[in-house]
């Protein structure tokens, strides 16, 4: 089968061995002669999967015993509502940093739940940088940030130092670099960018923060109910959770977050160096805020884009077109994307320059 270099922003690339094991499990899971898609989520075999997925998450994020890990449906978009629903007191205020489309959507949902303020924003420059040096009111119930922005290609390099509880949407850079999970009250991440297929969302929450809002809670949206049900209050998304577990195990077995962070740094440095050198391309974000996961760039001579697209297709480079709201190009360098794939893209960029500069 022809090697395709998958730069898709999400659902994103997964390790080949994970895909193979997942495919095998769809036919015969755990030597049961049953498909993973057919067995009961209450069976011991799947409960083992859920327990391992939770344990691996806690280990890789360095979480202490106060944290509970959930795997839920609804995507990160549901967490935009669940976070304020569970953490924002009826008479309290939540703070948000607006760094892009997904942060904006989180703000919209929070405003429907309760008092919400935007403490900083980079909307003034079309989200091409990360705000810094902003004041964080000490009275906030929590401060919500988005660690990485897939559409605009920015990433928080240094998390805010504050006494206010931090909540972070890490959907697109979870497990890509070393973080101390205990610095956050809650972390959530859709699986489909760096962890598994679409269909489940990981939530890691400090259990001591729950039950303080003063509102009556709908069961499905209540973290405490989901914790008590061990992510099985209703039937969980079995297949995405299983593949996420396999991916986390792959990460641990190869050296963990420290191992992949070095590779991710090299991948990003290789591609950004070419963007800065190559006369045909220009980066779109502030250099100090460039994302290691989603590299965005444009072509000043936009009329030549069809020619570049032709070369990328011939080289089996897939998923490079920028988000429809931004245009240009976006190379997503998620954990499972190899350095060889980045080098293949660089070679095409160099060939393009040689031909058209």
Active site residues: 102, 169, 193
CA distances from 81 to 75, 78, 95 (A): 11, 6, 14
Between CA 174 and CA 63 the distance in angstroms is 14
The two beta strands, 186-190 and 166-169, are: parallel
Outline where DSSP puts E strands in 89-181.
93-98, 115-121, 142-146, 148-149, 154-155, 166-169
Structure-block tokens of residue 203: 């939530």
The two beta strands, 93-98 and 142-146, are: parallel
Region for 194 from its dihedrals, namely left if φ exceeds 0, alpha if ψ lies in -120 to 50, beta otherwise: alpha
Largest CA distance in the chain: 65
Q: CB-based contacts of 154: which residues, under 8 Å, 6+ apart?
A: 99, 100, 122, 127, 128, 129, 130, 148, 285, 286, 289, 290, 291
Structure-block tokens of residue 310: 């032709």
**Which of helix, strand or coil describes residue 290?**
strand
| 268-301 b/e (C-beta count within 10 Å ≥ 16 → b) | beebbebbeebebbebbbeeebbbbbbbbbbbee
Let me know the angle formed at the C-alpha of 279 by 276 and 281, rounded to the nearest 5 degrees.
65
């Amino acid at each position: 089968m022809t090697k395709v270099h998958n730069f898709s922003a999400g659902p994103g690339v997964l390790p080949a061995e994970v895909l193979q094991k997942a495919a095998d499990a769809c036919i015969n899971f755990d030597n049961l002669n049953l498909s993973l898609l057919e067995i009961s989520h209450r069976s011991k075999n799947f409960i083992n999967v859920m327990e391992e997925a939770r344990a691996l998450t806690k280990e890789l994020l360095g979480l202490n015993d106060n944290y509970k890990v959930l795997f839920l449906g609804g995507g990160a978009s549901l967490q935009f509502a669940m976070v304020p629903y569970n953490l924002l007191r009826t008479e309290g205020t939540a703070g948000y940093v607006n760094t892009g489309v997904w942060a904006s959507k989180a703000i919209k949902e929070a405003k429907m739940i309760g008092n919400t303020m935007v403490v900083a924003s980079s909307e003034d420059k079309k989200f091409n940088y990360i705000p810094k040096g902003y004041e964080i009111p000490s009275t906030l119930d929590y401060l919500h940030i988005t660690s990485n922005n897939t559409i605009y290609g920015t990433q928080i390099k240094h998390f805010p130092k504050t006494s206010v509880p931090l909540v972070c949407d890490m959907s697109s850079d979870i497990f890509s670099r070393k973080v101390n999970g205990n610095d956050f009250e809650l972390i959530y991440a859709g699986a489909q960018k760096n962890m598994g297929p679409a269909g489940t969302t990981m939530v890691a929450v400090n259990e001591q923060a729950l039950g303080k809002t003063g509102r009556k809670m709908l069961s499905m949206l209540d973290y405490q109910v989901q914790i008590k049900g061990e992510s099985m209050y209703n039937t969980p998304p079995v297949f995405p959770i299983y593949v996420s577990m396999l991916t986390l195990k792959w990460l641990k077995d190869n050296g963990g977050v420290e191992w992949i962070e070095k590779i991710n740094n090299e991948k990003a440095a290789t591609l950004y160096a070419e963007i800065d050198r190559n006369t045909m391309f220009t980066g779109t974000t502030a250099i100090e805020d460039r994302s290691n996961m989603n590299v965005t760039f444009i072509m000043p001579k936009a009329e030549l884009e069809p020619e570049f697209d032709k070369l990328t297709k011939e080289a089996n480079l897939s998923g490079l077109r920028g988000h429809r709201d931004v245009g240009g190009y976006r190379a997503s360098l998620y954990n499972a994307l190899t350095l060889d794939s980045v080098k293949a893209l660089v070679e095409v960029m160099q060939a393009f320059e040689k031909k058209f500069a």
